[in-house]
Amino acid sequence: MEATDQLAWSVAFQLASSDRINLSPHIIVLMRWFILYFVFILLPELALAAKPQRVVSLNLCADQLLLQLSEPESIVSLTNLSVDPELSYLAKEAAEYPVNSGSAEEILKMNPDLVLAGSFTARPAVSYLKKKEFRVVELSIPESMKAMREQYLKVADLLGEREKAERQLREMDRRIAQAKSSGDENLVAAVYYANGFTAGKKSITTEVLNHAGFENLSEKSGVDSFGFYPLEKLIEAEPDLLILGSYNKDRHSLAQKLLDHPALKRFWGESDRGQARVIIPDALWICATPVIAEAVEILAQKRKEIVSRR
């Protein structure tokens, strides 16, 4: 592309500054306009359309998008979280790539032509890379399935993989439509993570629950996007299904221990006497990608089991 740029600039300069070419004035004017259009309009668009060859991720969810969309040889580095199977759906695939800790120094050495970052992660590195005029694209947290689609297609366009993304989204739609509950009975589910963390109205979590045939208790209780739900209120509400995140007993923290609280075991135990509970692996819906269809399938199946026991 550099050689093409130099040639275009050279021709444009000669046509724009010299009248020695043996052509009619009208033709010369047209050629000048064409070359200038080519240099200032077409060349930048062609450069953007070219597939990035050295892509680096600074965000867990950017890792997932890259692994699902990018050509393997274009991925230079992923985050160190990408190889954690509790958080990363594609941890096995991620193990094939070098990982980074999100520092500007290590990213500079990689000389990427595209950096995918999150809105809240690796902020010093993002700021520094932008100052050095690296191409950095920041990804927000989608609050809806529509926003998820838009972001997924945006990243696909950046990578030159629009067709692949559209195919994956169609498959996601097919799986969700097949799993979607057609029952009329209103069931309520509560999402309860470490330290009582939950997702409310403005979250993909609520849409996933709705597709599976559940209302979100947090949404009904006024939680806007994300927040914390007291254990006492959870027990009082008696949701039909308690959805827990991945629980690692080896992690010795008070936040994690709350998920092992005796009250949760009493009301949502494994026996038939208690309310239903299910663990949705964090890796399935911590990031907004088409694999979220698997979460819908698990929840829809759990709904069928609850209804069949009544």
pLDDT digits (tens, 9 = 90+) for 43-74: 555 445 578 999 999 999 999 999 999 999 99
Contact status, residue 223 vs residue 233, Cβ threshold 8 Å = no
CA distances from 152 to 24, 59, 66, 170, 298 (A): 51, 15, 10, 12, 23
> Is residue 214 predicted with pLDDT exceeding 70?
yes
Other Cβ atoms less than 10 A from the Cβ of 75: the count is: 22
The dihedral region occupied by 55, where left means phi > 0, alpha psi between -120 and 50, and beta the remainder, is beta
Query: Which tens digits make up the pLDDT trace of 245-270?
Result: 765 555 555 445 566 666 676 666 65
Q: In angstroms, rounded to a whole number, what is the distance separating the alpha carbons of residues 94 and 116?
A: 16
Closest among 84, 149, 141, 91 to 117, alpha carbons compared: 141
Identify any residues that bridge with 242 across adjacent strands, giving them in sequence order. Answer: 190, 277
**pLDDT class of 36 with cuts at 50, 70, 90:** low
The average pLDDT across 84-112 equals: 95
Element (H, E) at 302: helix 292-308
Q: Which domains does the chain possess?
A: 2-49 (no CATH), 55-173 (3.40.50.1980), 181-308 (3.40.50.1980)
pLDDT of residue 7: 47
